[in-house]
């Protein structure tokens, strides 16, 4: 079957009606550790999906999400594995669906994590927080190697504390 028939757009680049069209192979395997984790976390009221970008902004967001969920508010929050939630309909995605409050901690205005999850869960309405608006830095920087690790950690802590205050 050609891409044209699959997507209905006649566009060979994999886009249709304002959407990227992605084909993700169904997972043949499931990680029992991930499933057990999801089962243990299901009573927590706040699920946190997060940008996992390899750029500076994504790294700050990633570290902030980990601080929030594992140190500052572990009793209220669960950190979602974005890859697991996006690529298979198992425990991580169930956590996203069932959370009383869903926070999408985005590294920047591109909003990758919330856009990804909107692609697999119809009608998803996360509370989008754009991390790079919550701290001051040289906005010309892009790479993780362009800022000292201690400064990245400090920015991540600033972001995590601001979100924790809203819980």
| Domain extent for 47 | 29-165
Is position 120 within any domain? yes
CATH number at residue 153: 3.40.50
Q: What is the pLDDT of residues 102-111, one digit of tens each?
A: 999 999 999 9
pLDDT over 90 at 20, yes or no: no
> pLDDT band for position 5 (50/70/90)?
very low
Q: What is the pLDDT of residues 43-92, one digit of tens each?
A: 999 999 999 888 999 999 999 999 999 999 999 999 999 999 999 999 99
* Structure confidence at residue 21 (pLDDT): 85
Is position 14 within any domain? no
Residue of 87, 57, 78, 9 lying closest to 159 (CA atoms):
57
Number of domains, the chain: 1
Mean pLDDT of 88-99: 96
Is position 11 within any domain? no
Is position 16 within any domain? no
Three-state DSSP state, 141? coil
- Percentage of the chain exceeding pLDDT 70: 91
Is position 139 within any domain? yes
Half-sphere exposure in the Cβ direction for 11 (13 Å, CA):
11
> pLDDT band for position 33 (50/70/90)?
very high
Is position 1 within any domain? no
Is position 108 within any domain? yes
Is position 9 within any domain? no
* Structure confidence at residue 128 (pLDDT): 98
The token pair at 9 is 């757009």
């Amino acid at each position: 079957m050609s891409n044209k028939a699959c997507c209905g757009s006649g566009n060979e680049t994999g886009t249709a009606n304002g959407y990227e069209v992605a084909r993700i192979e169904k997972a043949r395997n499931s990680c029992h550790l991930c499933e057990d984790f999801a089962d243990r976390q299901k009573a927590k009221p706040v699920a946190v999906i997060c940008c996992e970008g390899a750029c500076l902004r994504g790294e700050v967001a990633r570290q902030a999400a980990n601080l929030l969920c594992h140190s500052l508010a572990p009793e209220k929050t669960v950190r979602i594995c974005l890859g697991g939630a996006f690529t298979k309909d198992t425990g991580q995605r169930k956590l996203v669906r069932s959370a009383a409050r869903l926070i999408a901690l985005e590294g920047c205005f591109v909003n990758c994590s919330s856009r990804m999850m909107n692609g697999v869960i119809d009608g998803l309405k996360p509370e989008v927080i754009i991390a790079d608006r919550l701290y001051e830095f040289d906005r010309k920087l892009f790479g993780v190697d362009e800022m000292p690790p201690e400064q990245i950690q400090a920015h991540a802590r600033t972001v995590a504390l601001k979100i924790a205050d809203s819980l």
